Structure 1
């Protein structure tokens, strides 16, 4: 019987390398939670064992049930009829099983029926689910909505919504985008207004809303009349009652099991979440940490599934009297896929840990404020951790989602013509992967989000420390290559800065971010290679290839590849 956790040796490797001691200690209130809840962990080892057991349950459900239904879910899709949306029958069964296993409130507090797990563990569960059915992740992965209410809502809102999120009775949706406000959320027009009693109501249209048929919606709305920018936006929560009309669902390329809806809010009663005017500038930005991670985990799960399909097919398919697995050109593609898959997982859970630390330090700071305390050292550490999380989450989203498209492309290529046929699941994986580098911020927007950290050399201290370390054997050679890439990066960065051309900097940002990612990921891989012999192969291929890519990135920047943008109107006829 397949288990999508226990059969994934690299995921187990990453799980066992997680360093969540501080995160768990804060989450468990110095393990005082165990005095209230007999199933809460009594120490860190107990917590990690609990996490492992739950991930095994997720792996069992994903491997034996969700995966088996995924093809039918894709074919059937979500249904829209008479203004209502119904999930595919397989999706309904999947959600029942996940709810029965108490997996729909993984990050929510125990007092509401949740598991109180760290984000990193939740992301591992998300990866496992996405490997089985990427579209289901879009429903399972919206637990962040409950977390947003828990973090910024008041106690009455928590009591109103969170218990039924945890039981699976409620599913959620983030109603952010509109017909004229996609990536540019400052342009949101849907209005929020109050009656004479202070009750809020929502009026307007939202588009491209994942799981828009959900029971509970977080809605970004313009609460300040006369404003046109992000400072006039607030966050609201509402039920999807009769005043919320589902106008249609989109006919999409992939993730068919996840309904994407256009919604019309007709004076819908709502509650303000947090403070007015903070909807975009604080709450959406905070939500993006977890949303970016969620899509990164989804992309990673799709990548794992595509790799598994390609490897199996390559071993089974015989041409020219031998398995195509033994044809060097095919073997090389598989090696590239495996290397990318594992390096992406390393980056993924480095980002997940960063978000975990950030969020738990925020809890400590808020607790101090409530008690009238001011811990300057803690405040400064939170600022530093937040800057790093602001950098590494868009970096992970960019790298992992672009990689998922490449891995699924290569997986289909290994299948040849058969991979283009509906009978083989690899074509579904290729379709599902395509959305990952679009929603929750396109790849281009992830570059915009990450470039500030790159220009500020946010990881300078880490890189300096790594360069002083002496690595054993062949790893020493790889460390020298990383030093060489860093020289290439600084040379390219200086060239961009010295030009003092904002437009050129915008275009060169992609190459600069990629250069920086090679260095950061490379050092992470060297650390892994020190403790795992097999990881030396992964580090070797990644770092050597990164040097070649770094030289290309530098040539793009320094040889004026982008100068023709000035003549775009003449070229683009």
Structure 2
């Protein structure tokens, strides 16, 4: 039988190179949880063995239950009648299987029924789910909603809500977007008020809400009358059955198995999560960063599926007396797809590592504070991990979602005219990929989120240290390419920052972020090439291509190509 975990050699490569000792030790509280829970690990190797078993289960379900129904799910879509939403048959069956396997509380603590598994492993599961059927990820991958309650809610709220998520009794939704407040969440107008008894209530409309028919909804609403910015917004939890009306579901281009709803809140009773006025500036931003990592995993899963479809078709399709796989221009496309897949996976799981480290260090610092112990060492590590995670999360979301669109585009091209037909999976994959660089923050907003870390060159010392190391043979030549790429980046960075105006930095942000991602990912691939000879080819192909793109971006910046954007209104008429 197929298995999307054990069949994927590159995913296994990354699993086998996990370095989560610190993360797991903190998550397991020094492995003391084994005293309370029979299934908790007793040491790091035991934890890794447990994680492998869980991912094998995910790989089995996704390959043999979810994937075979993906086309039918896309065709059937979600149903809406008389204010009620129903999932496609295949989605409902998949959720039932994942629930039976106890996979709906992946990262939640065991005391609430969860598996207590780090984000890195959860993202690997998301990748497999998305490869099988992308819209299912929008239900399975919304476990970050439960994590937000776990992190910022009261103990009473955790006891109330989290077991429902972990058992599969409830799915979640985050209701942020409004008809007049899309990416600009500071413009949210949903009203939150307290009635005579002190009960919080919600009134207003939310739009484009993924899985808006969920049983538990986190809602961003304006709790402070008279405010007009993010400081007047708070976060609330409510039940979908309590005076929440689904007004419609959207007729979308792709991800048909995931209902996207317009919701009306009619004085809905709700519970405040955390503190007033921190809804957007702290809680939602944290939740969205988790969601962005999930969408990066979704994009990677779609890319993997598209690559597999293209490779299979190219080997089977004969033209001019041979398979099209033997035509060099086609083979070249397939190689580029494979290299992009593997470089994307390296970037994603590097980002996950830093997010895991940040999350667990946050918990550790809070524990030490409560125990009135010294936490200075952990606090210093937390500061570094937070800075790195804040850069790599939007960078991964940007790079992987853009690449998913390219890979699915090329996969359809390999199929030729047949790929344009509904009978072939690649047509669905191309439609599904298109949303990944739009929702949870468009690609342009990911650039905005990442540029601060790039302008500060937060990996500068790491890059400099790597450049001092000797690399043998062909890796030495690749190291020289990375050094030259960094020189061009620093030159472009100086050119931009010397101007001191925000406009110059803004118009060059895309090129700078891309250059930084090329250098960072290139060094990741160099590390991998040192332990696996097959990765030498991947590193060479990626770095040489990235070097050419770096030169292009450098020229765009140095020639001040976008300086005329100051006169955009005169040009765009």
TM-score range, shorter chain: over 0.9
- In structure 2, the partner of 1:60 is 60
1:254 is displaced (CA, Å) by 0.1
Paired with 2:39 and 2:61, the residues of 1 have a C-alpha distance of 22
Paired with 1:55 and 1:312, the residues of 2 have a C-alpha distance of 25
Q: Is the 8 A contact 1:289 1:355 kept in 2?
A: no
- In structure 2, the partner of 1:569 is 569
- In structure 1, the partner of 2:103 is 103
- In structure 2, the partner of 1:46 is 46
- In structure 2, the partner of 1:301 is 301
Paired with 2:525 and 2:51, the residues of 1 have a C-alpha distance of 24
Q: Is the 8 A contact 2:136 2:257 kept in 1?
A: yes
Decide whether aligned partners of structure 1 residues 374 and 276 sit closer, same or farther in structure 2, where only a CA change above 3 A counts: farther
- In structure 1, the partner of 2:503 is 503
- In structure 2, the partner of 1:223 is 223
- In structure 2, the partner of 1:290 is 290
What pairs up with 1:259-408 in 2 under 5 angstroms? 259-408=259-408
Per-residue deviation, residues 46-83 of structure 1 (Å, max 9, x unmatched) = 10010001100000000001000100000000011001
Paired with 1:182 and 1:572, the residues of 2 have a C-alpha distance of 24
Per-residue deviation, residues 485-526 of structure 1 (Å, max 9, x unmatched) = 000001111111122232121010000001111111000000
Q: Is the 8 A contact 1:20 1:353 kept in 2?
A: yes
Q: Is the 8 A contact 2:344 2:400 kept in 1?
A: yes
2:166 equivalent to 1:161: no
1:567 is displaced (CA, Å) by 3.3
- In structure 1, the partner of 2:476 is 476
For the residue of structure 2 that corresponds to 1:441, the secondary structure is coil
For the residue of structure 1 that corresponds to 2:141, the secondary structure is helix
For the residue of structure 1 that corresponds to 2:540, the secondary structure is helix
For the residue of structure 1 that corresponds to 2:262, the secondary structure is strand
1:287 is displaced (CA, Å) by 1.0
Q: Is the 8 A contact 1:34 1:42 kept in 2?
A: yes
User: What is the RMSD of the two structures over their aligned residues, measured on CA atoms?
Assistant: 0.8
Structure 1 stretches lacking a partner, 5+ long: none
Q: Is the 8 A contact 1:154 1:274 kept in 2?
A: yes
For the residue of structure 2 that corresponds to 1:54, the secondary structure is helix
Structure 2 stretches lacking a partner, 5+ long: none
Which runs of at least 4 in structure 1 moved beyond 3 Å after TM superposition? none
What pairs up with 1:489-500 in 2 under 5 angstroms? 489-500=489-500
For the residue of structure 2 that corresponds to 1:263, the secondary structure is strand
Q: TM-score, normalised by structure 1?
A: 0.99
2:50 equivalent to 1:15: no
1:242 is displaced (CA, Å) by 4.4
Per-residue deviation, residues 529-550 of structure 1 (Å, max 9, x unmatched) = 0000000000000000011000
Q: TM-score, normalised by structure 2?
A: 0.99
- In structure 2, the partner of 1:6 is 6
- In structure 1, the partner of 2:189 is 189
1:234 is displaced (CA, Å) by 0.6
- In structure 2, the partner of 1:525 is 525
| More off after superposition, 469-478 vs 479-488 | 469-478
- In structure 1, the partner of 2:430 is 430
1:374 is displaced (CA, Å) by 3.8
1:225 is displaced (CA, Å) by 0.7
For the residue of structure 2 that corresponds to 1:272, the secondary structure is strand
2:27 equivalent to 1:30: no
Paired with 1:221 and 1:332, the residues of 2 have a C-alpha distance of 50
1:528 is displaced (CA, Å) by 0.1
Paired with 2:288 and 2:361, the residues of 1 have a C-alpha distance of 18
1:560 is displaced (CA, Å) by 2.1
2:77 equivalent to 1:77: yes
Paired with 2:491 and 2:212, the residues of 1 have a C-alpha distance of 48
Paired with 1:25 and 1:391, the residues of 2 have a C-alpha distance of 25
- In structure 2, the partner of 1:94 is 94
- In structure 2, the partner of 1:198 is 198
- In structure 2, the partner of 1:130 is 130
